[in-house]
């Protein structure tokens, strides 16, 4: 199969007929000018626990068209879970994800498909260069968020959270999207060894029906998820490298300060100079605190190492090719 289109949705009944019609229109024409036939494709709708008639529409379309597939969750699990199931079910050589709210234009699919199908990129992310969202609530926070993501991940994408993306099948089968990590799929792909990551400016339209399912809290959650992802990628399998390092630094710094205060007091006392008792100095208690915290951090790293070495291993390696 040439192409899989994965669409995660939640209460988008009003937009689904127009979205599907536009997808069918775009894919009724050849994607490759060298071929005179339309592509073999599938559209996978993942209903993330919708409470409207979204699933009824998907069910009806799947009965009438074998290219339409549907997955329904019993409740709302979030976009990451929906994409994970969609990726698992996708059969196409190229997988395109898009939102169901008509803000992503299906006319972008052929160009995204070619950028991946010809082997130039493993993953192509859309870039909503001219956003149609509100400036204060979405545009400005989005720019700050993306600047932070670029600095932390090292991936130079202008819009990492854009829902319109294209992937090779190998990418979606070798990454695990969990929690709210759908925002950082390019980073997950990079950590899995897929380094050919590009972007393409895409058309962004205003929401036509309903309202956004994501509030301002997504920027706070996104920032925390970014730190979590970075930490797990760097130290998930070697916690001693960070906890042990900072613990050792704090322990030795506190120990040196404590010894210095005691030696200073003894020196001044032996030379008849005025002195303060060590226990009367606030610095002494700060030094003891550093010693205790340093020991706790070191032990936390040590316990973390024991846990990671004895826990069942996750798939931390990715096979590039077999013959």
Q: pLDDT value at position 100? A: 92
Structural domain for 302, as ranges:
240-310
Domain match, 76 and 201 both: yes
Given 216, 235, 254, the domain boundary residue is 235
Q: What is the largest CA-CA distance in the chain?
A: 101
Q: Are residues 221 and 173 in the same domain?
A: yes
Q: Contact at 8 Å (CB) between 152 and 230?
A: yes
219 and 296 in a single domain? The answer is: no
Q: CB burial class (10 A; 0-12, 13-18, 19+) of residue 1?
A: middle
- Assess if residue 14 is contained within a domain: yes
Same domain, 126 and 177: yes
Is residue 321 in a domain?
Answer: no
249 shares a domain with 230: no
Q: Does some domain include residue 322?
A: no
In a domain, 320, yes or no: no
Residues in the chain: 323
DSSP code at position 106? G
Residues 114 and 252 in one domain: no
Angle at which helix 16-27 crosses helix 109-117, to 10 degrees, equals 50
Question: Burial of 280 by CB count in 10 Å (0-12 exposed, 13-18 middle, 19+ buried)?
Answer: exposed
Distance CA 317, CA 193 (A): 9
Domain count, the chain: 2
Domain boundary pick from 235, 270, 287: 235
pLDDT tens series, the chain, 323 aa: 899 999 999 999 999 999 999 999 999 988 876 677 889 999 999 999 999 999 999 999 999 999 999 999 989 988 999 999 999 999 999 999 999 999 999 999 999 999 999 999 999 999 988 876 665 556 677 777 788 888 878 888 888 888 999 999 999 999 888 777 888 899 889 988 999 999 999 988 887 777 766 555 666 776 777 777 777 767 777 888 888 899 999 999 999 999 999 999 898 888 888 888 888 889 999 999 999 999 999 999 888 888 877 654 544 554 455 54
Q: How far apart are CA 32 and CA 69, in angstroms?
A: 24
Could you tell me if 247 and 212 lie in one domain?
Answer: no
Q: 67 near 41, Cβ under 8 Å?
A: yes
Read off the pTM.
0.73
Residue 20 lies in a domain: yes
Of the three residues 235, 261, 288, the one that is the final residue of a domain is: 235
Residue 201's alpha-carbon distances to 8, 81, 118, 142, 166, in angstroms, are: 22, 27, 19, 16, 13
| 323 lies in some domain | no
Instruction: Note whether residue 10 is domain-resident.
Output: yes
Q: Which residue has the tokens 């490298």?
A: 241
Domain match, 259 and 164 both = no
In a domain, 143, yes or no: yes
Q: What is the CATH number of the domain that holds 13?
A: 3.90.550.10
Same domain (yes/no): 33, 152:
yes
Shared domain for 305 and 168, answered yes or no, is: no
d(CA 213, CA 155): 27
Q: Specify whether 91 is located in the same domain as 76.
A: yes
pLDDT at 138: 62
Do 231 and 244 have their domain in common?
no
């Amino acid at each position: 199969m040439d192409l899989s289109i994965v669409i995660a949705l939640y209460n988008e009944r009003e937009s689904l007929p127009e979205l599907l019609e536009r997808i069918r229109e775009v894919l009724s024409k050849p994607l490759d000018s060298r071929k005179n036939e339309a592509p073999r494709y599938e559209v996978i709708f993942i209903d993330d626990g919708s409470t409207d008639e979204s699933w009824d529409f998907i069910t009806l379309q799947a009965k009438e068209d074998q290219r339409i597939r549907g997955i329904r969750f019993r409740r709302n699990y979030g976009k990451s879970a929906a994409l994970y199931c969609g990726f698992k079910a996708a059969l196409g050589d190229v997988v395109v994800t898009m939102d169901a709210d008509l803000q992503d234009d299906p006319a972008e699919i052929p160009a995204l498909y070619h950028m991946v199908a010809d082997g130039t990129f493993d993953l192509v992310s859309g870039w909503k260069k001219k956003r149609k969202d509100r400036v204060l609530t979405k545009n400005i926070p989005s720019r700050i968020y993306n600047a932070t993501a670029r600095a932390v991940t090292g991936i130079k994408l202008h819009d990492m959270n854009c829902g319109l993306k294209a992937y090779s099948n190998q990418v979606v089968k070798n990454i695990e999207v969990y929690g709210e990590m759908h925002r950082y799929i390019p980073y997950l792909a990079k950590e899995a060894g897929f380094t050919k990551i590009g972007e393409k400016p895409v058309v962004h339209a205003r929401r036509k029906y309903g309202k956004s399912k994501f509030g301002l809290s997504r920027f706070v959650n996104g920032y925390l998820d970014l730190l979590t992802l970075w930490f797990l990628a760097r130290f998930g399998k070697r916690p001693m490298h960070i906890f042990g390092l900072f613990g050792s630094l704090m322990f030795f710094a506190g120990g040196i300060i404590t010894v210095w205060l005691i030696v200073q007091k003894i020196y001044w006392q032996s030379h008849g100079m005025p002195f303060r008792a060590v226990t009367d100095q606030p610095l002494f208690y700060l030094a003891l605190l550093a010693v205790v915290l340093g020991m706790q951090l070191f032990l936390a790293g040590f316990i973390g190492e024991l846990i990671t070495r004895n826990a069942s291993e996750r798939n931390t390696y990715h096979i590039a090719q077999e013959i």
